[in-house]
A = this chain, B = another copy of it.
Protein backbone atom coordinates (compact mmCIF):
# COMPACT_ATOMS: atom_id res chain seq x y z
CA UNK A 1 0.00 0.00 0.00
CA UNK A 2 1.30 3.45 -0.90
CA UNK A 3 0.17 6.59 0.84
CA UNK A 4 -0.04 9.58 -1.48
CA UNK A 5 -0.11 12.79 0.50
CA UNK A 6 0.37 16.49 -0.22
CA UNK A 7 0.45 19.15 2.42
CA UNK A 8 0.46 22.97 2.55
CA UNK A 9 0.29 25.61 5.24
CA UNK A 10 -3.19 27.11 5.18
CA UNK A 11 -5.53 29.14 7.30
CA UNK A 12 -8.35 26.76 8.16
CA UNK A 13 -11.19 29.32 8.09
CA UNK A 14 -11.13 29.86 4.30
CA UNK A 15 -10.58 26.16 3.56
CA UNK A 16 -13.60 25.28 5.67
CA UNK A 17 -15.77 27.56 3.55
CA UNK A 18 -14.54 25.94 0.34
CA UNK A 19 -15.09 22.46 1.74
CA UNK A 20 -18.69 23.42 2.59
CA UNK A 21 -19.18 24.87 -0.93
CA UNK A 22 -17.90 21.66 -2.53
CA UNK A 23 -20.17 19.50 -0.38
CA UNK A 24 -17.27 17.76 1.39
CA UNK A 25 -18.42 15.39 4.09
CA UNK A 26 -16.96 15.80 7.58
CA UNK A 27 -15.64 12.38 8.58
CA UNK A 28 -14.45 12.94 12.14
CA UNK A 29 -12.02 14.80 14.36
CA UNK A 30 -9.18 13.24 16.31
CA UNK A 31 -6.40 14.13 18.71
CA UNK A 32 -3.13 12.38 17.95
CA UNK A 33 0.01 12.02 20.01
CA UNK A 34 2.84 10.52 18.00
CA UNK A 35 6.04 9.35 19.64
CA UNK A 36 8.88 8.81 17.16
CA UNK A 37 11.72 6.49 18.05
CA UNK A 38 15.43 6.51 17.24
CA UNK A 39 17.00 3.17 16.32
CA UNK A 40 20.03 1.74 18.13
CA UNK A 41 21.57 0.35 14.91
CA UNK A 42 20.58 2.82 12.19
CA UNK A 43 20.42 6.58 11.82
CA UNK A 44 16.79 7.00 10.72
CA UNK A 45 17.55 10.59 9.65
CA UNK A 46 19.99 9.10 7.12
CA UNK A 47 18.08 5.98 6.10
CA UNK A 48 14.89 8.07 5.79
CA UNK A 49 12.82 5.68 7.87
CA UNK A 50 10.54 6.30 10.83
CA UNK A 51 9.13 4.22 13.66
CA UNK A 52 6.16 5.57 15.53
CA UNK A 53 3.70 4.76 18.28
CA UNK A 54 0.51 6.77 17.79
CA UNK A 55 -2.18 7.26 20.40
CA UNK A 56 -5.39 8.54 18.90
CA UNK A 57 -8.59 9.85 20.47
CA UNK A 58 -11.31 10.11 17.82
CA UNK A 59 -14.59 11.95 18.41
CA UNK A 60 -16.57 9.06 16.93
CA UNK A 61 -14.85 5.94 18.33
CA UNK A 62 -12.82 4.51 21.20
CA UNK A 63 -9.21 5.66 21.70
CA UNK A 64 -6.64 3.34 20.15
CA UNK A 65 -2.91 3.00 19.51
CA UNK A 66 -0.95 2.04 16.42
CA UNK A 67 2.58 0.90 15.71
CA UNK A 68 3.83 2.19 12.36
CA UNK A 69 6.95 1.77 10.28
CA UNK A 70 7.59 4.16 7.41
CA UNK A 71 10.14 3.18 4.80
CA UNK A 72 12.29 5.49 2.67
CA UNK A 73 10.65 7.60 -0.06
CA UNK A 74 9.74 5.67 -3.21
CA UNK A 75 8.38 8.78 -4.96
CA UNK A 76 9.91 12.03 -3.74
CA UNK A 77 7.43 14.44 -5.35
CA UNK A 78 4.45 13.30 -3.26
CA UNK A 79 6.30 11.98 -0.22
CA UNK A 80 5.20 8.42 -1.03
CA UNK A 81 6.53 5.74 1.30
CA UNK A 82 5.96 2.14 2.13
CA UNK A 83 3.96 2.08 5.35
CA UNK A 84 3.42 -0.92 7.61
CA UNK A 85 0.98 -0.47 10.43
CA UNK A 86 -0.91 -2.44 13.02
CA UNK A 87 -3.21 -1.39 15.80
CA UNK A 88 -1.87 -2.40 19.21
CA UNK A 89 -4.00 -2.99 22.29
CA UNK A 90 -1.57 -1.19 24.58
CA UNK A 91 0.38 1.73 23.18
CA UNK A 92 2.39 2.05 26.38
CA UNK A 93 3.53 -1.60 26.22
CA UNK A 94 4.49 -1.18 22.55
CA UNK A 95 6.64 1.82 23.53
CA UNK A 96 8.14 -0.13 26.44
CA UNK A 97 9.06 -3.01 24.11
CA UNK A 98 10.79 -0.59 21.73
CA UNK A 99 12.66 1.02 24.65
CA UNK A 100 13.76 -2.38 25.98
CA UNK A 101 15.15 -3.16 22.51
CA UNK A 102 17.20 0.03 22.58
CA UNK A 103 14.90 2.28 20.51
CA UNK A 104 14.64 5.66 22.26
CA UNK A 105 11.78 8.16 22.11
CA UNK A 106 13.21 10.99 20.00
CA UNK A 107 10.34 13.43 19.51
CA UNK A 108 6.63 13.79 20.14
CA UNK A 109 4.17 15.40 17.74
CA UNK A 110 0.74 16.42 19.06
CA UNK A 111 -2.02 17.58 16.78
CA UNK A 112 -5.75 17.99 16.33
CA UNK A 113 -7.04 16.78 12.98
CA UNK A 114 -10.40 17.33 11.36
CA UNK A 115 -11.08 15.03 8.42
CA UNK A 116 -13.31 15.56 5.39
CA UNK A 117 -14.06 13.29 2.42
CA UNK A 118 -13.93 14.97 -1.00
CA UNK A 119 -13.73 13.37 -4.46
CA UNK A 120 -12.26 10.12 -3.13
CA UNK A 121 -9.61 12.01 -1.16
CA UNK A 122 -9.27 12.67 2.55
CA UNK A 123 -8.78 16.37 3.29
CA UNK A 124 -7.41 16.93 6.78
CA UNK A 125 -7.24 20.22 8.67
CA UNK A 126 -4.30 19.87 11.04
CA UNK A 127 -3.51 22.09 14.02
CA UNK A 128 -0.05 21.06 15.12
CA UNK A 129 1.29 22.00 18.57
CA UNK A 130 4.19 24.38 18.08
CA UNK A 131 3.75 24.65 14.28
CA UNK A 132 0.29 26.01 13.40
CA UNK A 133 -2.34 25.18 10.77
CA UNK A 134 -1.94 22.91 7.74
CA UNK A 135 -4.11 21.14 5.18
CA UNK A 136 -3.31 17.65 3.92
CA UNK A 137 -4.84 15.91 0.92
CA UNK A 138 -4.32 12.19 1.02
CA UNK A 139 -5.25 8.89 -0.56
CA UNK A 140 -3.90 5.35 -0.77
CA UNK A 141 -3.05 3.33 -3.88
CA UNK A 142 -2.15 -0.33 -4.19
CA UNK A 143 0.79 -0.14 -6.57
CA UNK A 144 3.65 2.20 -7.27
CA UNK A 145 2.46 2.71 -10.86
CA UNK A 146 -0.67 4.52 -9.68
CA UNK A 147 1.18 7.04 -7.52
CA UNK A 148 1.78 9.71 -10.17
CA UNK A 149 -1.86 9.97 -11.28
CA UNK A 150 -3.06 10.05 -7.67
CA UNK A 151 -0.62 12.84 -6.89
CA UNK A 152 -1.85 14.96 -9.84
CA UNK A 153 -5.44 14.45 -8.72
CA UNK A 154 -4.47 15.49 -5.17
CA UNK A 155 -3.02 18.73 -6.62
CA UNK A 156 -6.39 19.34 -8.33
CA UNK A 157 -8.13 18.94 -4.96
CA UNK A 158 -5.75 21.50 -3.43
CA UNK A 159 -6.49 24.00 -6.27
CA UNK A 160 -10.18 23.37 -5.81
CA UNK A 161 -9.78 24.44 -2.17
CA UNK A 162 -8.02 27.67 -3.20
CA UNK A 163 -4.60 26.35 -2.23
CA UNK A 164 -1.38 26.32 -4.24
CA UNK A 165 0.27 22.94 -4.98
CA UNK A 166 3.57 24.80 -5.51
CA UNK A 167 3.50 25.69 -1.81
CA UNK A 168 3.67 21.98 -0.99
CA UNK A 169 5.65 21.18 2.13
CA UNK A 170 7.50 17.89 1.81
CA UNK A 171 8.92 17.96 5.31
CA UNK A 172 7.00 15.91 7.87
CA UNK A 173 5.59 17.53 11.01
CA UNK A 174 8.33 15.70 12.85
CA UNK A 175 10.93 17.24 10.55
CA UNK A 176 9.38 20.71 10.88
CA UNK A 177 9.38 20.40 14.67
CA UNK A 178 13.01 19.29 14.73
CA UNK A 179 13.90 22.26 12.45
CA UNK A 180 12.05 24.63 14.81
CA UNK A 181 13.86 23.19 17.82
CA UNK A 182 17.29 23.45 16.18
CA UNK A 183 16.56 27.12 15.34
CA UNK A 184 15.75 27.94 18.93
Interface residues of chain A, those whose CB is within 8 Å of chain B, are: 39-42, 49, 51, 67-69, 71, 82, 84-91, 93-94, 96-97, 100-102
If A89-B87, A89-B88, A94-B86 touch, does A101 touch B69 (CB 8 Å cutoff)?
Answer: yes
Partner pick for A100 among B69, B89, B102, CB 8 A cutoff: B69
- Contacts A/B (CB < 8 Å), 11 sampled: A41-B102, A51-B101, A67-B97, A68-B97, A69-B100, A69-B101, A82-B100, A84-B97, A85-B93, A86-B88, A86-B97
Closest Cβ of chain B to A73, distance in Å, is: 14
Instruction: Write the chain B residue with the least CB distance to A51.
Output: B101
If A41-B40, A41-B41 touch, does A84 touch B102 (CB 8 Å cutoff)?
Answer: no
Closest Cβ of chain B to A90, distance in Å, is: 4
